[in-house]
Structure 1
């Protein structure tokens, strides 16, 4: 078997769903796209896995290692431009851990946004 990662719009999606030689589809993304892919792919006899609309949470405890936790939060929230399926979209700061928010915000603001091929780019 072969695994391909394909990025595209509706034409690419419909091609994948309709092309007879493709026997299985695994999708991670929005509810709307996931439902379309599941319905169209299934109607064409494909095995379809559709993971839709995930929201991942982090619970930040005050006894965690502050520097490591802040660095991990920045990576989890903004790595891959926040587009990976496990991107952290919600962080709950418990007790005194909420005092870390200004430092977290500074690290997030310091991320360099540019085209991904430009050296020194953090998000792009």
Structure 2
């Protein structure tokens, strides 16, 4: 089963828009690679969440799907430094009352249609938005 490691979130804000950027590594086993050669595809489901006390809260927004071009092979295939970006209105990330900073984290999971299961959650670090939401 694939795995995600080292997710790191950064936020940049400009003119009422926030760009979420997450960078991570994705690893696919030899079995995943053989299945990909038979037509199975893999893609990331990346979601941004509010966080209070380091606990993942409700989904605030979902990134566009990122497809991995997994190739045939007999060893692990590692996609290093995968970068996904998603820009939303600042108000979308307002998970706390006005005047309270919004703590945001990203969850990255890998999915394939068969079997229809996801990898375990892999949460990024938490970034704080202090501007008004």
Greater share of residues in helix:
1
Greater share of residues in strand:
2
Question: So what's the TM-score if we normalise by structure 1?
Answer: 0.28
- Which structure exhibits the higher relative contact order, with contacts defined as CA atoms closer than 8 Å and separated by 6 or more residues? 2
